Structure 1
Amino acid sequence: MRNVSSRINPDSEGNEMTGSTIPRRGFGRLLRSFRERSQKSMLTAGLAIDVSPPTILRLEDGLPSKISTPQIERLLDIYQVAPAEHAEALEMWDAVRRQDKLAKAQGTGKGWWQGYSDVYKTYFDHYLRLEDAATQMTSHQLVLVPGILQAPAYRRAIITATVPEMSAVDVERLLELAARRQQRLVNDSLNLVALLSESVLLHQPGGPGVLTAQLRHLAEIGERPNVSIRIVPHQVGTHPGLIVQSFTLLEFPPMASKLMEPPVIYTEGAEGALYLERRDVIDRYKQAVAGMQAVALSEEDTRDLVSRMAREHSA
């Protein structure tokens, strides 16, 4: 299996991932499996339909490509795909094309978040597209509250510390972006599991007052049925989260073809981000999640701890 882990950093063309959608990624993955099974190279595939190998790569990576239906049919022929698989692939391709037409007609092809693209790093666009498509998110954080759970004042403190020269207008736009992302927790369209190190409750971006408001927000939103927040206390000692570090696991609903879109692990650093999709990597992260859940406080005990610390910081 090809290692589809990728790094996108602010100096690279992170917007290459802009047009990736769940149906496109599923279709591209299916085409890649057909090509590899037939032992055809990207060069051979490209020559067969008069395109370059990079175009085949874009197609298999789920990125927009100027490929026609007859060209897709030709690829399926040279890959010697069985009739049933041939029909399935064309059905998926038709779903991709219909989604593209609908997005174009509705003016939503670029995603609502791209109205803010000038104020966030280029690699984050792909993450926002994945988050918008996901129905299950698991976030493990060692230092800060996950973005989707950050209260406005807490988020503002992080923005101003990260980009001190950012204008007040752009700071407000980033806060608006965060609020729109969080709306999915309010309308129950996203299930969130947050496993937070006890250290997250101790760091004070913006000072004690800001942290107090953030902790109260965590206690409140943690009561929602689609949100599970659990603290991993320091006293448990070594646990898997200390090894894998902070990350977000995104999982997706079945596609119309009933195929499952593989989960994605997202990790972010000062210089860029990693998107990990390889099955064995995902399995290791899921094992780490299970290990952390085994030692984390219960949701109720977490709310009690968070509320107690909020009172202490406000004293």
Structure 2
Amino acid sequence: MPPRLSPTVRQQRLGIELRKMRERVGVTPKNLAATLGTDLPKISQMENGKSGISAERLRLWARTCGCADGPYLDALLAMTQDRRKYWWDGYRGRIPSGIIDVAEMEHHAESLAILHTTFIPGLLQTPAYASAVFARLRPPLPREDADARTAFRIQRQRIFTERPKPYTAFIHESALRMQFGGPVVLREQLLGVLEDSERPGVEIRTIPFSVDTYPGSGESLYLARGPVPELDTVQVDLSQGPKFVHAEDELQTYRRIKEETATIALDPDESRDFIRALLKDFA
């Protein structure tokens, strides 16, 4: 089978874990290739996500590298066996791959926590609000491309009904007041956030302007918990697209930001009251 031209972030992540496993104990690609009965290019392709790995080879890889962490290995094995087609695959070639990778990350996560300072998180956006967010991009998107991104963003919200999981959104007051699409669109959006806050497993936590500062206030971040901590992922918004973070030291930093933010954000009931009060400004 020829190498993948554009591996997904999940496929790349499996490769990253294979490489980390090998490098942790100093096994060379040459020795691993000999043990697996393959060649150096194939080892490289496996480690960069351009080639898959069978369950049998993964077990041999782990034994060669002395990995005896059962839960971690089981999680990697599950990644090798998942070859299904998902709804987001229908968008490949129509929207940037990084946007598709966010939906894949959400689907496979055990829980999700997001911090936003400039706009309402995507899983909570109404169609009109999402359309207005994409309309602000520069250079402007062609109408067909903007519509495809809006439809994709709204379709991601099926996760709340088809694959529900704990979801916490920390939303700064600046994001709650930013008028993408104008006051009528924003009012509808705030009402939508209130409705979503009543979903099982969903927590909306607001951060008022009265909080003078908080960790991570200069960026938006999205923490996806994996089946084991080693497979956690953080997605950060950059101007050129989503960035996915896997390094353990960076993950620890973002976990601490999330924990500290939870100590200063309003609780869910207070947050609902806060949003209801904001609605009066957009009557």
The bucket for the TM-score relative to the shorter chain is 0.7 to 0.9
User: 1:135 — aligned with what?
Assistant: 110
Change beyond 3 A, Cα 1:172–1:274: closer
Q: CA deviation at 1:71?
A: 6.0
Structure 2 counterpart SS, 1:274: strand
Q: CA deviation at 1:177?
A: 1.9
Distance in 2 (alpha carbons) for counterparts of 1:153 and 1:232: 24
TM-score, normalization by structure 2 = 0.82
The percent of aligned pairs where both chains have the same amino acid is: 24
Match of 2:225 among 221, 238, 251: 251
Over aligned residues, Cα RMSD in angstroms?
Answer: 3.4
Amino acid at match of 2:82: Q
Change beyond 3 A, Cα 1:44–1:112: same
Match of 1:277 among 228, 243, 246: 246
Residue deviations 1:243-297 (CA, integer Å, cap 9, x gap): 5x21100012x3xxxx655210101211133211122221211211121111111
User: 1:196 — aligned with what?
Assistant: 171
Distance in 1 (alpha carbons) for counterparts of 2:223 and 2:72: 28
Aligned length: 278
Worse overlay, 298-307 or 111-120: 111-120
Preserved contact between residue 264 and residue 277 of structure 1 (Cα < 8 Å): yes
The structure whose RCO (Cα within 8 Å, separation 6+) is larger is: 1
Structure 2 counterpart SS, 1:118: coil
Q: CA deviation at 1:212?
A: 0.6
Residue deviations 1:33-92 (CA, integer Å, cap 9, x gap): 552354222244346634235x3244245x352656776677567x3758xx59999987
Question: Any gaps of 5 or more consecutive residues in structure 1?
Answer: 1-12
Structure 1 counterpart SS, 2:199: coil
Change beyond 3 A, Cα 1:71–1:97: closer
Structure 1 counterpart SS, 2:280: helix
Distance in 1 (alpha carbons) for counterparts of 2:88 and 2:125: 18
Residue deviations 1:218-260 (CA, integer Å, cap 9, x gap): 11111223111111111111211325x21100012x3xxxx65
Matched, 1:157 2:118: no
Structure 2 counterpart SS, 1:119: coil
Change beyond 3 A, Cα 1:42–1:141: same
Structure 2 counterpart SS, 1:280: helix
User: 1:51 — aligned with what?
Assistant: 39
User: 2:198 — aligned with what?
Assistant: 223
User: 1:20 — aligned with what?
Assistant: 11
Distance in 2 (alpha carbons) for counterparts of 1:112 and 1:185: 15
